Structure formats: structure tokens, C-alpha cells
Structure 1
Amino acid sequence: MSLRLPGIVLGVGLGGFVDGILLHQVLQWHHMLSSTNTDNIGVRYYNPHTVSGLEMNTVWDGLFHTVCWLAVLIGLATLYARVTHRRLRVWTSRVLWGWILVGWGLFNLVEGIVDHHLLGVHHVLAGPHQLWWDLGFLVLGAVLIAAGYLLQRSGRPFDPVTDPGGVSARHGNT
């Protein structure tokens, strides 16, 4: 019973929500189509500083959040199926949280490479230093992947029947 797939899928969805809620809504640094005036694929520009442009960007932000929500639902369903399938092997939470961080980092790398660099439809913070913000987003993704991988490696399974408190798991014994 591996927590890799549900953790990564949950991490992709949760990482997308952090991006969408923090960068799109709270800080309003960018929206899904906020840089299409300089994109690499010829998408029509919807100026986020006009009502009609903000409306279209909000629709695309909503579609983005829908994909994030579906990723979280799929991750939860996969996690539930794996946890209930073999109940005698329980993993410490480090494994799940590690894989969630890996998924978040993968989200940053894929979204950053595709949307910021290849398509150019938006940037973390558009302006004279946007390349540095975009590269920082990729570095954060790589750090999250590395930290998550190391964190999940430190988790151990235990049998709740023979070790109900998870003592051997907390002390590294399996």
C-alpha cells in the first residue's frame, strides 16, 4: 500500500490552490491570462485592469481552481481506497505529508515551466524582474520536491494490532 500517488495528487491540487488563492486572489499578482499580451502562443489579451478583462481572467482562474479541486478529490478518493484496503499496515503521517510536498513541488515545476516560460500566459509577478520571480517559483518547486522526498523516506509503517501506539514507527524500528 503506497501513499505516493494519493500524496502527489493531493499535493498538486493543494499546491494549485495555494497558487490560485495567494497569487491570483489575495496578492493579485497575476491571473491565468494576465500576460497574454506577451505570450508565446497568441492567446487574446484580456487586460486584468479592466472589468471585462478581469471577468475573463476570473473565469479562467475558476477553471484552474476546478482542476485543483478535482485533483484534491481524486487524491482523497485514492487515499481512502488505499487506507481502507489494507488496514493492518498504517503509515506515519510523514509519508503522506512528504508525498504531498512532492506533488506541490511538481505543480510548481510544471505550471512554472508551461505557463510562465513556454506559453508565457502569466508570470508570478509581471514587470522588469519577472524572470527572477518565475525562476524563484521553479526553485521553490525543486526545494519542495527534495524536502518532500526526504520527509517521506523518514516515515515507517507499523501494525496497529501489534504496535497500537506506533512506538516502533516513532523510533525507526520496523
Structure 2
Amino acid sequence: MINTRIRTGALLLGIGLGAMLDAIVFRDLLQWNSMLSATLVPDSLDAWRVSLAADGLFRAVAWALALAGVVSLWSAFGRPGSLPSSRVFTGYFLLGWGWYNLLEGLVVHEFLALHHVRDLPARVPSYDWTYLIIGGLGFIAVGLALSRRPVPRRMADRRAGYERRGTGAAGT
């Protein structure tokens, strides 16, 4: 049960933090797109307000997913049982981030065409495909490789909760 909670937490944290990093890099720092930049060009104050509201909603959902990941991890650490290795945790984190990139790229960029990786000032289609291949499939491949080959650890080195502290029923 503890491994399921940690894996779920790592996946959710990867999705949430990946989405936030996407927004910070592509929307804020590079200013290549906004959430609706392919359908609503921010060329007026009203359009800009709608675009900012959509970006804010996106960030709120990303933050909520990351918080859900933290809550899942927090609940797992208080329970007895063995913890996965850092390598496995990183693998699941990258799986979450990669799945976010792949689904966001396919659904938002290609299917719904709400925005593209680089919309502003003009769309560059090769950026969408690079994002899908490297950020989506690449992260998923690395995540699978890391999560499927756990490094063997002694059980005493990877304990959580009461077992780690040496208190309670498990530690006596």
C-alpha cells in the first residue's frame, strides 16, 4: 500500500510540477503562448483578460494536482513499510511529467488547437513536435526505464513511519 501511495504521489507531483514549469517557461519567461493564444489573440484588453483568466485556471489546476501529490506522499511516509528507491520515485515523477506533456501536446496543441508551443508572435509547428517527442515520449521512456529497474537496497535502509523511528508495534 505504501508503494502505491508513493507512486501515485510521484505521478501527481510530476503532472502538477510539469504543468507549472510549462507555464512558467513558455508563458512567462519566453512569452511564446498563453492558454488560448491560438483561438484568442491577446491584442485587446478584453482578450488579454480572458487569456489571463484561462492561464490562472490552468495554474490553479496544476497547483491542486501537485498538492494532491504532496498529500499522497505525506500520508505514505507515516505508514510502516518499505520505501521505493530514489530512482523508482524519480521514474514515476518523470512518467507523470511525460504523460502531462504528451496529453497536453496532443489534446490542447493538436486536437483542440487552443495554443501551440510557440504561437506568439507566430506559430512554429516544429516546436509542437519537438515538445511531444522529447517532453512527452522521451520523459515517459526515461521514467519507465528508471521505475522498472529498482536498485536493490537493504530493507533496513528504506523504512518509513514507525519502523524508521524504532517506536510503536513495528519497532519493538
TM category (shorter chain) comes to 0.7 to 0.9
For 2:143, give the aligned amino acid. Answer: G
Give me the identity figure in percent.
34
If the length of structure 2 is used for normalisation, what is the TM-score?
A: 0.81
> Is 1:65 the counterpart of 2:59 in the alignment?
yes
Residue aligning to 1:125: 118
Q: 1:15 to 1:164 in 2, by over 3 A?
A: closer
Q: 1:106 to 1:55 in 2, by over 3 A?
A: same
If the length of structure 1 is used for normalisation, what is the TM-score?
A: 0.80
Q: 1:92 to 1:164 in 2, by over 3 A?
A: closer
1:158 deviates by 4.1
Alignment partner for residue 102 of structure 1, among 79, 95, 98?
95
For 2:59, give the aligned amino acid. Answer: H
Residue aligning to 2:168: none
Contact kept in structure 2, 1:4 and 1:96, CA below 8 Å: yes
Post-superposition, which runs of at least 4 consecutive aligned residues in structure 1 deviate over 3 A?
154-158
Contact kept in structure 1, 2:87 and 2:150, CA below 8 Å: yes
> Is 1:28 the counterpart of 2:31 in the alignment?
yes
> Is 1:17 the counterpart of 2:20 in the alignment?
yes
CA distance in 1, matches of 2:107, 2:100: 10
Residue aligning to 1:40: none
RMSD across aligned positions (CA): 1.9
For 1:142, give the aligned amino acid. Answer: L
Alignment coverage as a number of residue pairs: 152
1:34 deviates by 0.5
Contact kept in structure 2, 1:11 and 1:100, CA below 8 Å: yes
Q: Specify the SS of the correspondent of 2:78.
A: helix
Residue aligning to 1:147: 142
1:52 deviates by 2.5
Residue aligning to 1:83: 77
Residue aligning to 1:159: 155
CA distance in 2, matches of 1:111, 1:85: 34
Contact kept in structure 1, 2:37 and 2:51, CA below 8 Å: yes
Unaligned runs of 5+ residues in structure 2 are: 160-172
Unaligned runs of 5+ residues in structure 1 are: 37-44, 166-174
CA distance in 2, matches of 1:30, 1:9: 24
CA distance in 2, matches of 1:135, 1:102: 19
Q: 1:154 to 1:54 in 2, by over 3 A?
A: same
